[in-house]
Structure 1
Amino acid sequence: MKYIFLIAFLIPIFGLAQIGGQSGYQSLNLTSNPRAAALGGTTISLVDGDVSQFFENPATLDSISAGNVFFHFNPYFADVFVYSGAYSFSIGNAGVFAAGIHYINYGAFDLVDETGAQLGSFRAQDYTFSIGKAHQIGVFSLGTNLKLTHSSIESYGSTAILVDIGGVFRINRNWSAAMVLKNMGFRISEYTQFSNPELPFDVKIGMSFKPEYMPLRFTLTSTNLTHENSSGSESSSGRSVSTFNQLFNRVNLGAEFLLSDNFQLLVGYNHKRKQELKLDDIGGGAGFSFGLMAKVKKVEIRFSRATFHTAGGSSFISLKTNLNDFKKIL
């Protein structure tokens, strides 16, 4: 088992691939739930019945029961709002599936001509529909998300069909490792005949570990493994990128304080975010995040806060419950 830790740290260094161009559909990289936001921005190895985790890794669906419903709200920046929702359901002998939507509303903008005369207004929005399924084979779990994503601005739009493929390996009840291939697919329409954005394909590797006699669970997730330089802002600004930064720009760290079944505290750190958004003379807390989970009756409430810059951060709020629990009460 000790070799898994070695592999997880070496892959961010050696697992480099060529980008091939500037990627589009960047809304697919926005965090879709408060739990992931609090644990550094993404986490793929948590398999404890949380339906919101299927956005991160479809292989986690094997731990989810039917009837779970989840809603997430994130007031982002500059009047941009992010919403996501998910529902798990059973189809006969096929087992449990999950369906979800991730929606970004960029708001209204002034529409002007080349002279600056105002012609009205227009809106911009992105949305992604997902449906996922997982299958467990012994200690392994394999899952797939099929996604339809559409981005529109004024009268222009672009649509793509994408697939996520994920896997989870349960080393024991307190230790799991995971890998996800995200956003593989093809475009079926473009904004214009001249646009050709690359899909934001990524490979993620992560693990979660809980010491047996401690109320703590640690998560480590390696991201951006398909990018040769995971921090383009540093190279473009003339800053030198140290070996330390090249490694940890690909690693998100998080910890959950499991105080009880009804209350938890979470903290996380995203080094890439800190390096890209800190000021030259002050970090301002960029890259750090925290959150909490409180369960009231049958409803799980989560709140997270991620600091992006010395000027502030972004908040994430969600509600989750299982509709079957209410049927039992009624």
Structure 2
Amino acid sequence: MGVLTAVLLGGRALAAETTYGVGTQALPLQQSGGTARAMSMGSAVVAVEQGSASLLWNPAGLSKMSCKEIAVHHNSGLGDTVQEIFIFGMPLGTVKEEGKGGSMGGLAASIGYVNYGGFTGTDATGQETGNYNAGDYSVSLGWGKEFLPGLSGGVAVKGMQSNFASKVYSTYTTDIGLLWKVVPSLDLGVSYSNFSLYDKIGEPASGLRLGAGWTIDKHWLLAASSELQNKAMKRIQLGTEYLIGNVDEKANVLALRAGYQLSYPSRELGALAGLTWGLGYTLTKSVAIDYAMLPTGDLGISHRVSLTYKFGCPKKHRAPAPVAAVAAPEPVVLKSIDLEDSHFDFDSSKLKPQGMEALRENVELLKKNPKAQVRVAGYTSMSGTKEYNQRLSERRAAAVRDYLVAQGGIKQSRIT
């Protein structure tokens, strides 16, 4: 099994390379998160929201999914090695707002495959024994949910199988994680990866991941994390992402990314080993493509490409446009009733018969036009003082109004 592991890692071990127990390096590529965005940021994404790809790093991040997602992650390089990961994720329950996740959390599942190409086998004396093919398969299922405001937890169960010639080896592990939004701009994350449930190949590298993500503004993200693996590599990871474009609508957005990964003990793969960079482009709110390039010294360059499609997203609630206040329309006055001094008894508000006749004509007109209103004005002769005439005109106007209401059946609200 030790010989097989060395072959899968891409060649002979370097003279200064530290040797670990054989089991700690089982299924090496299946343990690496194969997303272009994560790898271009130096893998410093333990506390970074990644949608369905959170399944590969910190399952607590699945609690933030507000859309359904289908994603394909491709990795090529390191000789003839090719890796493919397919992920489907979806929120569970009601999604009230984008970025808040489902009321019952989020669920994601993945299928992965690594093809290491063909190999020539030899026996203990160096004689060739034939050609062999090698490959790994993996499946995983994870769930995350926000249990307290700002605090989410998640768990993922994984199964992995390695095939070499006629041999088949398998292992089952689990990941657990927490994600805490300390303040709107700062997230902290922790996860434990590859806790062994059952294995027939040797325990995969497991250990603790700690991370932080700082959103400086809506364009710029800084991230840092570390890996403390049992009996294996220790890593410090730094990454950044800068967005250019319409980030509010999440369309036509260009992402510039870079990262660095410092490993201990050093893998001595060359001066650029550990440095990562990449690009991403969000074509629409639904479609995004990402690319990452990872120099690995003498082993060449690893290229990663991710394609993500989102659908079933909640509609963004827009505040209604302010409506200008509309002044109430002036009442429609069909006719103004003007009664002269001769329509009333002298120095009185009592109507004469000719005054009543004039009002009856207006009553008929008002009944034929039920939406029309009537304006009543009272007049007096020029004799008498101004104050006395004003009071008399007001009494005469009131007498006309009373007649229209009592005798004509006109609503008082129609009379001004």
Match of 1:44 in 2: 46
Match of 1:33 in 2: 35
For 1:153 and 1:59, how far apart are their aligned partners in 2? 34
Larger radius of gyration: 2
For 1:152 and 1:43, how far apart are their aligned partners in 2? 30
Query: Aligned pair count?
Result: 276
Distance apart, 1:22 and its partner CA: 4.5
Match of 1:252 in 2: 237
Distance apart, 1:82 and its partner CA: 1.1
Aligned 1:278-317 pairs, distance under 5 A:
278-279=269-270, 283=271, 285-297=272-284, 298-309=286-297, 312-317=300-305
Match of 1:62 in 2: 63
Q: Could you tell me whether the CA contact under 8 Å between 1:277 and 1:308 is conserved in 2?
A: no
Q: Which has the higher contact order (CA 8 A, sep 6+)?
A: 1
Aligned 1:29-178 pairs, distance under 5 A:
29-47=31-49, 50-89=51-90, 95-111=105-121, 120-137=130-147, 138-178=149-189
Amino acid at match of 2:277: F
Does residue 215 of the first structure (1) align with residue 196 of the second (2)? no
Aligned partner of residue 63 in structure 2, secondary structure: helix
Cα RMSD between the aligned structures? 2.6
**TM-score normalised by the chain length of structure 1:** 0.75
Aligned 1:205-244 pairs, distance under 5 A:
205-212=210-217, 215-227=219-231, 230=233
For 1:108 and 1:311, how far apart are their aligned partners in 2? 17
For 1:272 and 1:110, how far apart are their aligned partners in 2? 31
Amino acid at match of 1:291: G
Match of 2:205 in 1: 200
Compare the two structures and name the one with the higher strand fraction.
Answer: 1
Structure 2 unaligned blocks of 5 or more: 1-19, 94-102, 248-252, 314-416
For 1:210 and 1:42, how far apart are their aligned partners in 2? 14
Distance apart, 1:97 and its partner CA: 1.0
**TM-score normalised by the chain length of structure 2:** 0.61
Amino acid at match of 1:150: Q
Aligned partner of residue 267 in structure 2, secondary structure: helix
Structure 2 CA distance for partners of 1:42 and 1:121, relative to 1, 3 Å:
farther
Structure 1 unaligned blocks of 5 or more: 1-18, 191-196, 231-248, 326-330
Aligned partner of residue 224 in structure 1, secondary structure: strand
Distance apart, 1:120 and its partner CA: 4.8
Structure 2 CA distance for partners of 1:131 and 1:100, relative to 1, 3 Å:
same
Match of 2:267 among 256, 271, 276: 276
Structure 2 CA distance for partners of 1:312 and 1:158, relative to 1, 3 Å:
closer
Aligned partner of residue 171 in structure 2, secondary structure: strand
Distance apart, 1:318 and its partner CA: 0.8
Per-residue deviation, residues 26-45 of structure 1 (Å, max 9, x unmatched): 23432310111111135211
Aligned partner of residue 263 in structure 2, secondary structure: helix
